[in-house]
C-alpha cells in the first residue's frame, strides 16, 4: 500500500471518529468486521495519533483557522486538518511538510466541497510557516 493510500485509509478512520463516541480501537475493529479492512501500519499510526491528541490538535487548528472554531468546520476539513497536523508534528518525520499538505489538499478535493481544499491549504500553510517550515519544501 502506498503512503497516499494509507493516508486515505487513516482519513476514513479519523472522519468516522466525528460520528461516534467509540474509541479508535473500536472504530478500527468495526471497520475490520464490516468492511474487511486490512489496516496499513502507517494509517494505523496516524489515526491513533489523531485520536490520542485530538484536543491539542484542535487547539492548534483553531489558532490558524481565523474566524472558525474547529467544531464549525466541515467534517472533511476537520478530519484532514487533524491528520495533516499530526503528521507534520511527528518526531521521526521522514515526510516533507509540503507532501503532508499536498496530500491533505488532494483528499479535500476528492471528499470535500468546493471550499474545503483552499481552506485546508491555507490553514496548513499558516501552521507550517509558524513552525519555520516552508510549505513548498
What pLDDT shows up at residue 34? 83
pLDDT computed for residue 70 by the predictor: 86
Q: What is the pTM of this model?
A: 0.90
pLDDT at 137: 52
Q: For residue 83, which of 42, 114, 37 has the smallest C-alpha distance?
A: 42
List the Cα angle 23/117/60 in 5-degree steps.
50
| In-domain check, residue 32 | yes
Backbone angle region of 46, left / alpha / beta, with phi > 0 → left and psi within -120 to 50 → alpha? alpha
Task: Indicate whether 136 belongs to any domain.
Answer: no
Number of domains in the chain: 1
In a domain, residue 135? The reply is no
What tens-digit pLDDT sequence spans the chain (137 residues)? 899 999 999 999 999 998 988 899 999 888 888 887 788 889 999 999 999 999 999 999 999 987 888 888 999 999 999 999 999 998 666 888 999 999 999 999 999 999 999 999 999 999 999 988 765 55
What is the domain range of residue 14?
3-130
Residue 41 lies in a domain: yes
Contact criterion met (CB below 8 Å) for 86 and 95: no
Instruction: Give the three cell numbers for residue 97.
Output: 511538510
Whether residue 48 is contained in a domain is answered as yes
Amino acid at each position: 500500500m502506498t503512503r497516499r493510500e494509507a493516508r486515505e485509509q487513516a482519513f476514513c478512520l479519523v472522519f468516522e471518529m466525528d460520528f461516534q463516541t467509540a474509541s479508535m480501537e473500536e472504530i478500527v475493529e468495526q471497520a475490520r468486521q464490516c468492511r474487511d479492512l486490512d489496516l496499513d501500519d502507517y494509517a494505523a499510526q496516524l489515526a491513533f495519533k489523531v485520536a490520542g491528541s485530538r484536543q491539542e490538535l484542535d487547539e492548534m487548528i483553531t489558532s490558524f483557522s481565523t474566524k472558525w472554531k474547529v467544531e464549525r468546520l466541515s467534517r472533511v476539513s476537520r478530519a484532514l486538518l487533524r491528520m495533516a497536523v499530526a503528521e507534520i508534528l511527528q518526531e521521526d518525520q521522514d515526510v516533507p511538510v509540503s507532501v503532508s499538505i499536498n496530500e491533505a489538499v488532494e483528499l479535500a478535493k476528492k471528499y470535500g466541497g468546493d471550499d474545503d481544499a483552499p481552506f485546508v491549504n491555507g490553514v496548513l500553510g499558516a501552521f507550517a510557516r509558524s513552525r519555520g517550515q516552508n510549505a513548498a519544501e
